[in-house]
Structure 1
Amino acid sequence: MSLIANVVVGLVGLIHVYILVLEMFLWDKPAGLRAFGQTPASAAATKVLAANQGLYNGFLAAGLFWGLWLGPEGFGVKVFFLLCVFVAGLYGAATASRKILFVQVLPATIGLVLLFLGRSMG
């Protein structure tokens, strides 16, 4: 179970690396415009803000990868960063797009459940 949990944690980390790339480097490019439903004008006006958001998503990814790197001792680190993703996802879903529930909240929830199941079985 812990292997599956770690795979999910790694996938959540990769999702946040992808979000970092979209927000920091592709915000005003066709892929970023499509992903976030932006017009070129709105993307140009918010590019610096998006880059800041992307950096924070990178910190979430780094924390998840750090937890994985720590092995079994990284349980608390993984839980903390998955909870950060979960809360950020809830806020984003409430303020920006409900799609965030499926992109961030659901994977973080699955990761948390699997981590705790693995811990109770091990």
Structure 2
Amino acid sequence: MLLVAKILAGLVLAIHVYIVLLETVLFKTRGRKVFGLRKEQVATLAPAMSNQGCYNGFLAAALAVGFLHPDAAVGHAFTVFGLACVAVAGIWGALTVQMRILYVQTVPAALALGALFLA
């Protein structure tokens, strides 16, 4: 079960790295399409999306530390913290922005947390 938990946590990490890229460096091209925005909206939303991308970068960083920290207990704590933050952020995003966020962020994070606690 630990292997499943690590695979799921790695998937959540990869999703968040992609989200960071979409909200920052790819926002005006691929990000605009993924988020369903018109060209006219891009200039106005770019600063806010870049800021949001920064926050998502911190979520990805917490998960990366979970994988890379040499002390297993510290790594586990970072992983749990990162997954819990992703799950909560996904719930908030689903309530305030779009329900799809629940399935893209919260469900994978909750599955990873469940697998981690069962391991």
**TM-score calculated relative to the size of structure 1:** 0.91
Pairs within 5 Å for 1:1-122: 1-29=1-29, 31-70=30-69, 72-73=72-73, 74-118=75-119
Q: Which runs of 5+ in 1 are unaligned?
A: none
Q: Which runs of 5+ in 2 are unaligned?
A: none
Any idea what the Cα deviations from partners look like across 1:77-115, whole Å, max 9, x if unmatched?
111111100110001000111000110000000010000
CA distance in 2 between partners of 1:46 and 1:37 (Å): 12
AA aligned opposite 2:25:
F
RMSD: 1.0
**TM-score calculated relative to the size of structure 2:** 0.93
Deviation >3 Å, runs of 4+: none
CA distance in 2 between partners of 1:55 and 1:116 (Å): 28
AA aligned opposite 2:100:
K
Aligned length: 117
